[in-house]
Amino acid sequence: MKKHVNGTELFVQDQGQGTPVILLHGFPLDHRMWQSQMETLSANYRVLAPDFRGMGQSDLPVTPMSLTQYAQDILALMDELRIEKATLGGFSMGGYVAFALLRLAPERFSALILANTRPEPDGQEGRKNRLNMAVSLYDKGAAAARDAMLPKLVTEATHLEQPQLIDSLKVIMDSMPAEGLVHASIAMAFRADSVDLLPTISVPTLVIAGEQDAIAPPDVMKSMADQIPGANFHVIPSASHLTPMEKPEAFNELVLAFLKEASLKSMDYRSPS
């Protein structure tokens, strides 16, 4: 469904009942990357997977975007859906938005899942690549992002063994509005450094890496997890960047165990002594 918030129309898939779990997608993707999590987790939780402004079915931005603005959209969506507090999950770009959300409104989140993401901003080279990507998106359309990203999202073995997964990924990426991806590339190029935020995170946190992820390598993710008090860190074997789609069973198992433990912890917290 679409919701009118912050002067724009945002799409959100909202399924299941119970404690809300908000899942934020990566680039150049949309809520469809969470299909397996949506099916599995919605048996016990209310799972919400929005499309960022300008991506998937959400309307295009009319002014430049920042990660803070994507985060403000999510907060406005939570207000509109009357969700006071949720578990927050962010994959890659979704992780950058999760950091922005924790900076803006940490009191709105009771647990955190960070998958294949990193807290540091881009260096000079990375920023240059993003701006070149923005130019290619104008020239070639969404195919520019698809061609650059597809080889990095899953392992070579998965490319060979799971042609249907590759086809569904192409369908998602080819349907992305190029202009929305330009906004996202520029926003990511100028994102804030979130390293200082890590020691201030005070909710149960699960960090998931892919063994062969070159975009957010396991050692970078391990050092991120080490800086978040009490965070659980897991590496999914034989997986590259897109762990929720490439290894959905392993991913969902980690998330379900974490959500169960996080809810027990919050019950302990609430029970009178």
Comparing CB distances to ligand MLT, the nearer of 26 and 50 is 26
Gap between the Cα atoms of 24 and 86, Å rounded: 12
- Site size for ligand MLT (CB under 6 A): 6
* Residue 190 host element (H or E): none
Q: What does each C-alpha distance from 182 to 58, 66, 119, 137, 179 come to in angstroms?
A: 15, 12, 21, 7, 5
Rule CB under 6 A: choose which of 20, 26, 90, 210 binds ligand MLT: 26
Q: Check binding of 45 to ligand MLT (CB under 6 A).
A: no
Comparing CB distances to ligand MLT, the nearer of 37 and 110 is 37
Contact 224, 119 (CB under 8 A): yes
Rule CB under 6 A: choose which of 86, 188, 208, 225 binds ligand MLT: 188
Q: How many CB atoms lie within 10 A of CB 22?
A: 27
Gap between the Cα atoms of 69 and 53, Å rounded: 9
Site for ligand MLT in 72-101 (CB under 6 A): 92-93
Cross-strand bridge partners of residue 14:
48
Q: Check binding of 27 to ligand MLT (CB under 6 A).
A: yes
Comparing CB distances to ligand MLT, the nearer of 129 and 232 is 129
Site for ligand MLT in 213-252 (CB under 6 A): 215
**Can you give the binding site for ligand MLT, defined by CB under 6 A?**
26-27, 92-93, 188, 215
